[in-house]
Every structure is written in structure tokens, then in C-alpha cells.
């Protein structure tokens, strides 16, 4: 039962996060608490969508039965997730350097 709840909870979180990514890409808007930090909202939204795709591949790869295909799915999920994180970091305002 816990496994089903976990699948549903992760699915809902991924759909919400992907929705925020689509909103950022199409309307160039981000979440209200990120307005001052995000300089390029379309880049941030693209990173959110890539991260969602990678996390979905990580979470739902248990249905793949072929071990070679499982390795490919897991590696592709990792590349997508890390690529999304890099895009989201690059879209932020650079921090101040304090001496």
C-alpha cells in the first residue's frame, strides 16, 4: 500500500513541478518567492521540465524488465536531471562576492 501511495505522491509532485515549468516557459512567470532571484524564467522553466523528466525516469524505471534497457533509462534520467539542475542554476541571478 505504501508503494502505491509513494507512486501517486511523486506523480502529483512531478505534475505540479512540470506545471510550474510550463508556466515559466510560456508566460515567462515564476513562483512569487523566486521573482527577485530568477533572471531568465524561460531557461528556468526548461530546466524544471528537464528535471521532471529525469526524476520521472528515476522513479518509474522499475517497470523496465530488460537490464540493458534499465541501464539506459537510468543513465538518461541522470543526464536529464543534472542538465535541468544546471539550467536552473544558470537562470538565477549571480550572488554577491563578499570579501
Return per-residue pLDDT of the chain as tens, 99 residues: 777 888 889 899 999 999 999 999 999 888 888 888 888 999 999 999 999 999 998 888 777 777 778 888 888 999 999 999 999 999 987 766 555
Q: How distant, in Å, are the alpha carbons of 3, 23, 57, 80, 89 from that of 10?
A: 11, 20, 12, 17, 23
Domain spans, the chain: 2-90
Amino acid at each position: 500500500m505504501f508503494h502505491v501511495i509513494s507512486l501517486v505522491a511523486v506523480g502529483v509532485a512531478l505534475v505540479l513541478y512540470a506545471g510550474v515549468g510550463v508556466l515559466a516557459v510560456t508566460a515567462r512567470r515564476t513562483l512569487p518567492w523566486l521573482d527577485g532571484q530568477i533572471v531568465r524564467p524561460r531557461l528556468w522553466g526548461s530546466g524544471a521540465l528537464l528535471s521532471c523528466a529525469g526524476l520521472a525516469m528515476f522513479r518509474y524505471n522499475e517497470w523496465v524488465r530488460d537490464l540493458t534497457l534499465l541501464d539506459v533509462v537510468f543513465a538518461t534520467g541522470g543526464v536529464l536531471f543534472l542538465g535541468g539542475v544546471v539550467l536552473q542554476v544558470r537562470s538565477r541571478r549571480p550572488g554577491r562576492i563578499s570579501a
